[in-house]
């Protein structure tokens, strides 16, 4: 699995300090956003700490300073233990409480420049870091502290801060909260979109695009019957004994080269790769989007596969083709697979398994349909397992 939102650079490395190897993409985005928000607010707190010390208000200065120290310690613990739940709760709590403590120390909303606005980062952060279900208590806490601060304003003694300075800090608080919220939400949404695009690309590597769209729209059974489709099976001749003495990486590298070549041919001919089974390859035409020339397209790919694979280490293929009705659908829940079933599929598999190396064996109905445009050579009657005697043909080339 990739590192999700983290790729390179100091910010990315900082964001990844709490990642565990087993974290999914969503968990990594949440952890990264919380780590970055903690770091950003810790840096911004330096301005408030310095300013209040300059004004001779050590009690007020001690609050953002305490926030900085607690945050730095919690970041260090999080980087070491990777315990996200405790880190998240601690940060949301101090984000919520410390701004109100600072406001009360300064004498209320007006003298503090409404510094309690920073506490809004707690419920907003909870939405990103924990989800909607766990965010509402934090928002309720924020509302409760705002309501409680109203009566307190009448009994608190405001500190002496010039009016111009209070106005400047009010502007700074509004801009600081807004900028922090915007930057974090932008990062969170961007990474979510990036992960969604990555997930969709992975889904399209497993399922045909029309089927993937249907799967995203509903989670019911996806199954279709196609009255006319063509199925091709191809198998590398003597691959098992050939690979017995080879290193594992050599075997995988060879299969990857072969199947990547086949994938390119399938795309070129507008066909749908169904699956690979060991050293066998299955492709179909006319599904999931019906087309009139599905048989001709599969025949064209079959004729291109043999020379293509011979160029890769002198390999030979056995290829079998049949055409007719099939049932197609998606099976599995945690790992999806788009597969085909029916007599056409079984017969195409038999054409391959009981074929001849270097030849493309097809059924009589395939030969009859292709005869006007392709050259075919009769093989004769073959005893096909599970089917009995069948007349089969070899596809030789295009006319």
Question: Of 326, 309, 385, 396, nearest to 361 (Cα)?
Answer: 396
336 phi and psi angles, rounded to 5 deg: -80, 150
The residue from 88, 385, 387, 399 that is catalytic is: 385
- How far is C-alpha 99 from the chain's CA centre? 37
Name residues whose C-beta falls within 8 Å of residue 38's C-beta, 6 or more positions apart in sequence: 71, 74, 75, 91
Task: Specify burial of residue 110 (Cβ count, 10 A radius: 0-12, 13-18, 19+).
Answer: middle
Question: Of 215, 189, 220, nearest to 203 (Cα)?
Answer: 215
CB 295 within 8 A of CB 230: yes
DSSP β-ladder status, 388-398 and 360-363: antiparallel
The residue from 31, 88, 350, 359 that is catalytic is: 350
Q: What is the rounded CA–CA span in Å between residue 177 and residue 40?
A: 11
Token code pair at residue 269 = 């001919």
For residue 298, CA distances in Å to 2, 45, 279, 294, 304 come to 36, 67, 19, 6, 10
Token code pair at residue 62 = 């001690």
Number of Cβ atoms within 10 Å of the Cβ of 89? 16
| Known catalytic residue at 385 | yes
Secondary structure of residue 208 in the 3-state scheme:
coil
Task: Specify burial of residue 260 (Cβ count, 10 A radius: 0-12, 13-18, 19+).
Answer: exposed
For residue 231, CA distances in Å to 45, 273, 285 come to 66, 10, 7
Q: Please state at what angle helix 25-54 crosses helix 121-129, rounded to 10 degrees.
A: 160
397 phi and psi angles, rounded to 5 deg: 175, -175
Q: What is the rounded CA–CA span in Å between residue 303 and residue 370?
A: 13
Backbone angle region of 316, left / alpha / beta, with phi > 0 → left and psi within -120 to 50 → alpha: beta
| Known catalytic residue at 310 | no
Where in the sequence numbering do the catalytic residues fall?
350, 385
């Amino acid at each position: 699995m990739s590192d999700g939102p983290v790729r390179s650079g100091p910010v990315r490395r900082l964001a990844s300090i709490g990642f565990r190897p087993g974290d999914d993409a969503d968990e990594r985005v949440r952890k990264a956003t919380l780590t970055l928000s903690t770091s950003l607010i810790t840096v911004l707190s330096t301005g408030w700490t310095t300013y209040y010390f300059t004004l001779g208000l050590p009690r007020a200065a001690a609050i953002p300073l305490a926030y900085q120290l607690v945050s730095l310690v919690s970041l260090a613990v999080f980087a070491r233990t990777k315990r996200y739940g405790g880190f998240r709760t601690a940060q949301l709590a101090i984000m919520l409480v410390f701004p109100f403590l600072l406001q009360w120390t300064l004498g209320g909303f007006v003298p503090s420049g409404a510094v309690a606005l920073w506490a809004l980062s707690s419920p907003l952060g909870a939405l990103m870091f924990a989800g909607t279900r766990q965010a509402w208590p934090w928002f309720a806490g924020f509302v409760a502290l705002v309501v409680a601060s109203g009566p307190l304003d009448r009994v608190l003694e405001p500190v002496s801060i010039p009016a111009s300075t209070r106005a400047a800090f009010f502007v700074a608080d509004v801009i600081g909260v807004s900028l922090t919220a915007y930057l974090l939400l932008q990062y969170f949404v961007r990474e979510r979109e990036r992960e969604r695009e990555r997930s969709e690309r992975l889904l399209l590597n497993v399922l045909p695009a029309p089927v993937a769209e249907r799967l995203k729209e509903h989670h019911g059974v996806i199954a279709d019957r196609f009255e006319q489709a063509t199925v091709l099976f191809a198998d590398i001749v003597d691959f098992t004994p050939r690979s017995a003495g080879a290193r594992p990486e050599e075997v995988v590298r060879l299969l990857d080269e072969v199947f990547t070549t086949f994938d390119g041919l399938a795309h070129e001919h507008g066909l749908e790769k169904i699956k690979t089974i060991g050293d066998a390859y299955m492709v179909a035409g006319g599904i999931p989007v019906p087309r009139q020339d599905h048989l001709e397209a599969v025949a064209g790919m079959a004729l291109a596969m043999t020379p293509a694979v011979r160029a890769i280490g002198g390999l030979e293929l056995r290829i079998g083709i049949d055409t007719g009705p099939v049932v197609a659908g998606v099976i599995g829940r945690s790992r999806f697979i788009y597969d085909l079933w029916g007599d056409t599929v079984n017969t195409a598999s038999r054409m391959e398994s009981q074929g001849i190396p270097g030849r493309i064996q097809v059924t009589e109905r395939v030969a009859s349909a292709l005869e006007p445009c392709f050259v075919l050579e009769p093989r004769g009657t073959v005893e096909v397992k599970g089917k009995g005697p069948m007349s089969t043909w070899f596809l030789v080339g295009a006319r």
